[in-house]
Structures are given as C-alpha cells and as structure tokens.
C-alpha cells in the first residue's frame, strides 16, 4: 500500500507497541524509522516515515504500566564522531497540558523533586491556598517553588511552617471529588506530586555538546540555541523544561477527488481549509510546504501563562492557487503536539487545463 517507502531497502528490525496506539515500528536499512498504525477491527492502517538527526539501529517494545514503551538504539554524529544512544519514546499523556509536551529527540528534562509525604490542597483554584503535607517537608527556602499535583500547578508564596505553605494556583487542580458538596480536592499520595524551583540554566547536556537544540519551558517555546559547555541559557526561569534535537512534523494529503464524476486532471483551487485537531498548538497550513500560513492560536489565558492546547476545528485562509493535484499541507515546526483528526478543504473546481 506504500511501496515507495520500501523500494530499494530492507527491514532490519521491528517491534509492535500495542498500547495505546497499536503501532508497528520498523527500521529500514538506511536507518530511517517507519511506523504502521493498524486497527484491525476498524480496517484502518497507514504508514509514516520518521527521520532523525542520525540513524536508527535497533528497536524494541517493553510493557511499562499501561503503555508499551518503545526503546531504540540511535546512532548520531556528535562533534563529528558517531555515538550510539539508547533512547526511549516519551509518553503522549499530558496531564499538565502544553508543558508536558515532549516532542524533541535525544532529549532531557528537568525533574521536580518528589516527596514521601501526602499533599492536601485546601482548594482547587485561587490565591493564598493552603497546601498541607503529612509529614512536613517545607522550609523557608521553599518559597518560589512550583508544585504540580492532581493536574494543577501552584507557586508557593508564603512559608507557614514545616507542614503548611500558602500558594497561588495558576492551573486549577482537576483531581476532584465532584460528588462531594462542596466539591473537594483529593489528597495526593506520596510520590505522585512534585515541586521544583524555576531555573534559567539547564545543564547536563554534554551528550549534545555543540548541537542546535529546541527548548520548551513551562509550555512556552524558546528560540533554538547551541549547547555550550553542556548547558543552555533561558531568557526567563522555568520549572519544567525539555531540551533536545528539533524535528519538523509534516503531513500532505493525497491528490484530491470528490467521487463520481471524478475531478482528477481538473484544476482545483483551495482558498481555505479547516483542520480538526486534538490537543494541538502552533500548526502551519497551506497549499505547499514552501507556502504555509501559521494558525493564530487564541489566547484567552492569564497573561504570563502558556497558550493551552486546542481541541476542535481550526479554519484558516491559505490563499490557494490553481493546481491539478489539489493537495494541502500541515506542518509543526515547534516542540509541540500536532494530532490531526481530519482535513476539510474548501474546493473550487476549474477546467482540465488542456
């Protein structure tokens, strides 16, 4: 069905990751990674090609909790020398929204500290909210740290004692007992919540020395920069940072047809299109990859907070142009998710051009 992906190559290794997306991963003899999404009961299947700054050498899938984690050995040229890394594909679960997006290669993240204490937030949203731990873990230096718990994010503003701090909640907690009157926040078990102080310097990147990397900090995209002395410098401090090799995600539709009578061979113009997405942000769309228009994500959030991931329909005027193929393109240049569920073009049909 996609023989152009295999012609002239052999498959040197493959694995099947059933949960959560039912994908067969296969390594081609040139080091390119191919994927087959296969849903037998719905008769859905589709191939895709995945390229990285390097080449894939081996791949395997291991059951971890409720997902099949995919591990790969990837050879990369670092400072002119080939280096093989064991890398793990990151989960696509994003309980804290955009800041959990992990769409970079060979990457590292800052990791917040966990605690053996139970955390009890007094409310799901608001300012000056008490966060109580049992046993106590707080010290006066905890002020300024960012807590992530139950899908919510809060910044410590006041130290009360070892068991209690006051926080401003910037992202509401979602782990609630909604049947309780009034709605109650569930206590967060030990090891399930984190706290971290924002930092401006991310170190420990010696494995990417000299490389240009993409950076996502607290859900905000920072300009790409070069790793020097194993570190990068952010323009503002963040507490949840992902740094790694950038890549571009691209999607192009097949030649357009609307059924009988066929419009194959006729010139077509697509002045606008609607893309149906799930938890996406930062997409560009257009009639060709060298003629893209960025979608202007609506920002109704509090100033200073990252734009939330969007689920729904995004309509954009792309200018179009008369072509026989009638194809449209979607591209993601940022280290952000791009799940496309459907593309609805607005079509004008012309003559055959003969």
Which tens digit of pLDDT belongs to each residue from 154-191?
A: 999 999 999 999 999 999 999 998 887 788 899 999 99
- What is the per-residue pLDDT for 304? 63
182 and 225 within one domain: no
At residue 42, the pLDDT reads 82
What integer pLDDT is reported at residue 164 of this predicted model? Answer: 95
State the CATH number of the domain containing residue 129.
Answer: 2.40.10
Residue 39's Cβ-count burial label (10 Å; 0-12, 13-18, 19+) is: exposed
Look at residue 259 and tell me if it is in a domain: yes
Percent of the chain whose predicted confidence (pLDDT) is above 70: 97
Does 354 reside within a domain? no
Residues 183 and 222 in one domain: no
Cis before 8? omega within 30: no
**Residue 320 burial (CB count, 10 A):** 21
Domain boundary (165, 192, 219) is at 192
What is the spatial distance between Cα 171 and Cα 176, in angstroms, rounded to a whole number? 14
Does the pLDDT at position 348 exceed 90? Answer: no
**Four-point Cα dihedral 32, 59, 341, 296, nearest 10:** -70
pLDDT at 299: 59
Q: What is the pLDDT of residue 23?
A: 92
Q: What percent of the chain has pLDDT over 90?
A: 65
Residues 102 and 212 both lie in one domain: yes
Name the band, by pLDDT with cuts 50, 70 and 90, for residue 297.
confident
- Strand ranges across the sheet with 268-280: 310-317, 268-280, 339-349
* 262 domain-assigned: yes
Residue at 256 is within a domain: yes
| Strand ranges of the sheet holding 283-288, from the earlier edge strand across to the other edge | 249-252, 329-332, 283-288, 291-294
Angle CA(105)–CA(249)–CA(297) in degrees, nearest 5? 110
Same domain, 10 and 80: yes
Tell me: do 285 and 205 sit in the same domain.
no
Q: Is the pLDDT of residue 300 over 80?
A: no
Query: What domain range is 127 assigned to?
Result: 116-192
**Are residue 255 and residue 339 in the same domain, yes or no?**
yes
55: pLDDT strictly greater than 90: yes
Q: Is residue 174 part of a domain?
A: yes
- Provide the mean pLDDT of the chain: 90
Answer yes or no: is 179 within a domain.
yes
Q: Is the pLDDT assigned to residue 140 strictly greater than 90?
A: yes
- Cβ-in-10-Å burial (0-12, 13-18, 19+) of 111 comes to exposed
Q: Do 179 and 281 reside in the same domain of the chain? A: no
- What backbone torsions phi and psi does residue 124 show, to the nearest 5 degrees? -90, -20
Q: What is the pLDDT of residues 194-222, one digit of tens each?
A: 999 999 999 999 999 999 999 999 999 99
User: Of the residues 154, 171, 192, which one is the last residue of a structural domain?
Assistant: 192
pLDDT attached to residue 319? 78
Q: Are residues 149 and 30 part of one domain?
A: no
Question: Is residue 222 situated within a structural domain?
Answer: yes
Check: CB of residue 179 under 8 Å from CB of residue 90: no
CA distance 216 to 229: 20
Do 156 and 290 belong to one domain?
no
What pLDDT shows up at residue 303?
Answer: 60
Whether 295 and 213 share a structural domain: no
| Number of domains making up the chain | 4
Per-residue pLDDT at 302 exceeds 60? no
Map residue 97 onto helix, strand or coil: helix
For residue 136, being part of any structural domain is answered with: yes
332, pLDDT greater than 80 = yes
Indicate whether 101 and 231 sit together in one domain: yes
Indicate whether 354 pLDDT > 80: no
pLDDT confidence bin for 250, thresholds 50/70/90:
very high
User: Order of strands across the sheet with 23-28?
Assistant: 11-17, 23-28, 33-39, 44-50
Q: How far is CA 31 from the centre of its chain?
A: 23
Ranked by mean pLDDT, the top range of 105-119, 231-245, 263-277, 299-313 is 231-245
Mean pLDDT along residues 4-29 = 92
Nearest to 311, CA basis, from 350, 266, 341, 353: 341
* pLDDT of 266: 85
Q: Examine the domain organization and report whether 254 and 228 are in the same domain.
A: no
Average pLDDT over residues 62-80: 92
């Amino acid at each position: 069905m996609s023989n152009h992906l295999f012609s002239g190559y052999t498959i040197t290794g493959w694995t099947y990751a059933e949960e959560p997306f039912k994908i067969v991963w296969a390594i081609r003899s040139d080091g390119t990674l191919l994927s087959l999404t296969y849903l037998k009961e719905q008769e859905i299947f589709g191939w895709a090609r995945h390229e990285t700054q390097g080449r894939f050498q081996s791949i395997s899938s291991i059951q971890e909790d409720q997902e099949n984690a995919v591990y790969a050995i990837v050879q990369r040229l670092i400072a002119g020398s080939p280096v093989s890394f064991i890398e793990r594909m990151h989960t696509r679960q994003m309980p804290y929204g955009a800041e959990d997006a992990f769409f970079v290669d060979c990457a590292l993240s800052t990791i917040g500290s966990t605690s053996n204490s139970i955390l009890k937030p007094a409310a799901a949203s608001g300012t000056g909210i008490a966060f109580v731990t049992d046993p106590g873990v707080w010290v006066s230096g905890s002020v300024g740290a960012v807590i992530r718990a139950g899908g919510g994010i809060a910044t410590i503003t006041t130290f009360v004692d070892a068991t209690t701090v006051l926080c401003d909640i910037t992202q509401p907690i979602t782990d609630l007992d909604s049947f309780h009157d009034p709605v109650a926040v569930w206590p967060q078990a030990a090891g399930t919540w984190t706290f971290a102080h924002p930092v401006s310097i991310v170190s420990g990147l010696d494995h990417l020395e000299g490389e240009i990397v993409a950076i996502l900090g607290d859900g905000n995209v920072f300009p790409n920069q070069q790793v020097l002395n194993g570190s990068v410098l952010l323009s503002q401090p963040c507490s949840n940072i992902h740094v790694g090799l950038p890549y571009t995600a691209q999607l192009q539709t097949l030649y357009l047809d609307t059924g009988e009578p066929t419009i194959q061979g006729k010139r077509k113009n697509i002045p606008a299109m609607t893309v149906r997405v799930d938890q996406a942000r930062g997409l560009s769309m257009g009639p060709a990859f060298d003629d893209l228009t960025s979608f202007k994500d609506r920002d109704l959030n509090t100033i200073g907070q990252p734009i939330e991931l969007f689920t729904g329909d995004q309509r954009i005027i792309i200018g179009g142009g008369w072509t026989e193929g009638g194809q449209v393109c979607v591209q993601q240049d940022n280290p952000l998710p791009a799940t496309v569920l459907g593309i609805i073009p607005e079509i004008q049909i012309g003559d055959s051009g003969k």
